[in-house]
Amino acid sequence: MKRCFAAIVTLALLAVCVLPGAAVAEGDSVYRTLYTGEITTLNYLYTSTTNEFALAANVIDTLVEYDQYGNIQPSLAESWDVSEDGTVYTFHLRDGITWVDHNGEYYADVKAQDFVSAAQYVLNAQNASSTASIMYGLIAGAEEYYLGTSTPEEGEDPYPVTEWETVGVKALDDKTVEYTLKTATPYFLSSLTYVCFMPVNGDFLAAQGENFGVATSNDSILYCGAYILSEFAPQEKRVYTANESYWDRENVHIDTIEQTYNKEAETLAPELYRRGEIDAASIDNTIAQQWLSDPETADLIHPTRNTSFYSYFFAFNFDPEFDAEYEPENWKLAVNNEAFRKSFYYGLDRLKAMYVYEPDNPEMLLCNTMTLADFVTYEGTDYVDMGDLEPITALQDGTYNEEMALQYRDQAIAELTEAGATFPIKVLMPYNPSSTGWDEMCVVVEQQLEGLFGPDYVDIIVEAGPSSGFLGEVRRVGKYAFMLCNWGPDYADPETYTDPLYIDNSYNFMDQYANQDEMAEYYGLVDAAKAITDDLGARYLAFAKAEAYIINKAYVIPFGNTNGGYSASRLDPFSGQYAPFGISNERYKGAVLLEKSMNTDEYFDAYDAWLEARSAQ
């Protein structure tokens, strides 16, 4: 027996749904912005960068999408069935979905085989897709197929080659695509908005060969989404034009999106917005305070809506690969001492650190857990308020506790001295100089912790890393001791927040170099939670137990979300698609332009109305 999901589309996607706060602009709509970061590829089946996700999200559709309240809706699939055991999903494509070229000319119908062609590309290791692991982590037979296409390391035997027929991605006919999963996966539908599950026309892909998706011209891909990349001049301009052949054209309200390259965009955008030359600008905290105190500009800006669910946390590195001058062997002794880690856990004044990113309401961005609040709920209860996480979330003043911090400092000094460590412990804390505010935040942390503990306990060394390739040259190779890291969710389940700390992670290497008994216990808790697929409440409680364990042992120090500040924008922040993961928040479909930017009062009125409407869903 199968469960059938009909194509029910909410009112939010049937008409312009603007929440109270401002008037919608009349006539043809053009949205003009600046950008600083150029993309390196149009190949959405290869990339894993947000910049390139954002482009793909607007020109390629997925089987399902999200409405403005975070509800899954049909997209290229008008309906789907799920087998009784939850392992087979069968999607029925709607009529009238087509591929067009960069001029908007018809190329072919979108068919079920296009999803198979995309999967074959992603699961071929020679194509080095950055998101292949997401697909082969879910689909039956996919990992074995992927490994069979890989090139073995020198001296190693090749993996057995498996046939494509063993992979759980099938086109049953032109209008029906079937996915067979390794195991029942409660969050599978939410994964389908990720780029690796986007379709590709196999004939076009074969004809393009290595030129598919090259970032030199807009004719290297086809389009089946709300927009066409009608102009593309790298480091000059990108223009998106509404796709007139789009199956849901009536819900595309912005006709043209013009993005102009300017390496000084962050500095110039506010003034260009004031002059009416662009329609959106990020406003840093210094300018925001100036504008808010001036009656002529106070109504031009509003708080930035937090649509990012990137969780920021301070990570301890258990495999230091930094230079000898920073005493990596001494650091290994310190970081493997629980009292030392807990001295940081209780001693770090996160409110002072967050003030760098949000000077007005820093407490609103703090989170005591790795998983952010409002990510997922069960029967009306937020995941972070469930089970073992509830007392952690409930800490009214966060984790800062000076008395406990000093107690753990004294305990760590005694234990580490006996173990042969020398003081002060050198703590290398690098930052990316191209990331706004990170340097200032590191200085705040350095001064605050050294001021609390005294110079004889720790010597925190703040050091600039490279502005390009920072992750590859610093975090992924372990050239830090203590550093701010982040992780963005890929699907709607707490499991996604375990990924940066799971086995073979490239964040803090604790799986190999931390206390192995404690690691076995943590990974056992995670695996037990993953195994619960038929009871969502029990699954969430199990993940809460695992997350609480790793926090209580102070292997990480949760920080929160640094997406604060203000913006000036004619884009209605509550009209477009919304989801705390994937690419939905990057899409312009459904969004509308206002005559002018909301001010702060209008923003909060609209936000309250959105919350009320969302609760009524």
pLDDT digits (tens, 9 = 90+) for 230-243: 999 999 999 999 99
265 assigned to some structural domain: no
% of the chain beyond a pLDDT of 90: 77
The stretch 131-144 carries a mean pLDDT of 95
User: Is 616 exposed, middle or buried, given 0-12, 13-18 or 19+ CB atoms closer than 10 A?
Assistant: exposed
What 3-state DSSP class applies to 358? coil
Instruction: Compute, in degrees rounded to 10, the torsion defined by CA atoms 519, 520, 523, 524.
Output: -150
Helical axes 338-347 vs 328-335, angle rounded to 10°: 80
Residues 493 and 353 in one domain: yes
pLDDT band per the 50, 70, 90 thresholds, residue 49? confident
Q: Please identify, among 200, 218, 249, the residue that sits at the C-terminal boundary of a domain.
A: 249
Residues 243 and 320 in one domain: no
- Alpha carbons 200 and 115: distance in angstroms, whole number: 7
User: Where is average pLDDT lowest: 21-30, 173-182, 320-329, 563-572?
Assistant: 21-30
- Residue among 70, 67, 56 nearest 198 (CA): 56
User: Where is average pLDDT lowest: 122-126, 176-180, 420-424, 499-503?
Assistant: 499-503
- Sheet with 176-180, side-by-side order of all strands: 2-5, 77-83, 88-93, 176-180, 169-173
DSSP-assigned letters across all residues of 69-85: TS-EEESSEEEEEEETT
Q: Please identify, among 531, 560, 589, the residue that sits at the C-terminal boundary of a domain.
A: 560
- Which pair of tokens denotes residue 110? 């979108």
- Which pair of tokens denotes residue 426? 């050198």
* More confident call, 540 vs 19: 540
The stretch 418-438 carries a mean pLDDT of 94
614 assigned to some structural domain: no
| pLDDT computed for residue 201 by the predictor | 98
Q: Is the pLDDT of residue 310 over 70?
A: yes
pLDDT digits (tens, 9 = 90+) for 544-599: 999 999 999 999 999 998 776 789 999 999 999 998 887 898 999 999 999 999 99
Q: Please identify, among 560, 581, 607, the residue that sits at the C-terminal boundary of a domain.
A: 560
Residues 320 and 230 in one domain: no
Q: Is the pLDDT of residue 264 over 80?
A: yes
498 assigned to some structural domain: yes
State which amino acid sits at residue 562: T
588 assigned to some structural domain: no
Q: Is the pLDDT of residue 28 over 70?
A: no
**Tell me, what DSSP letter sits at residue 474?**
I
| pLDDT computed for residue 18 by the predictor | 53
Q: Is the pLDDT of residue 10 over 50?
A: no
613 assigned to some structural domain: no
| pLDDT computed for residue 23 by the predictor | 67
Q: Alpha-carbon Rg of the chain, whole angstroms?
A: 25
pLDDT digits (tens, 9 = 90+) for 488-532: 888 889 999 999 999 988 899 999 999 999 999 999 999 999 999
569 assigned to some structural domain: no
Count of domains in the chain?
2
13 assigned to some structural domain: no
What 3-state DSSP class applies to 593? strand
Residues 219 and 322 in one domain: no
Beta strands in 106-175 (DSSP E): 106-109, 169-173
Do the Cβ atoms of 491 and 189 come closer than 8 Å? no
The phi, psi pair for 157, rounded to 5°, reads: -75, 145
Mean pLDDT of the chain: 92
Do the Cβ atoms of 460 and 406 come closer than 8 Å? no
User: Where is average pLDDT lowest: 26-30, 407-411, 507-511?
Assistant: 26-30
CATH number of the CATH domain containing 429: 3.10.105.10
Q: Which domain holds residue 104?
A: 38-249
pLDDT band per the 50, 70, 90 thresholds, residue 3? very low
Handedness of CA 288, 294, 297, 298 (dihedral sign): positive
Which residue has tokens 């290869």?
A: 46
Which residue has tokens 């937020």?
A: 382
Residues 245 and 318 in one domain: no
Do the Cβ atoms of 379 and 429 come closer than 8 Å? no
504 assigned to some structural domain: yes
Do the Cβ atoms of 429 and 463 come closer than 8 Å? yes
* More confident call, 269 vs 436: 269
User: Where is average pLDDT lowest: 55-64, 356-365, 371-380, 455-464?
Assistant: 356-365
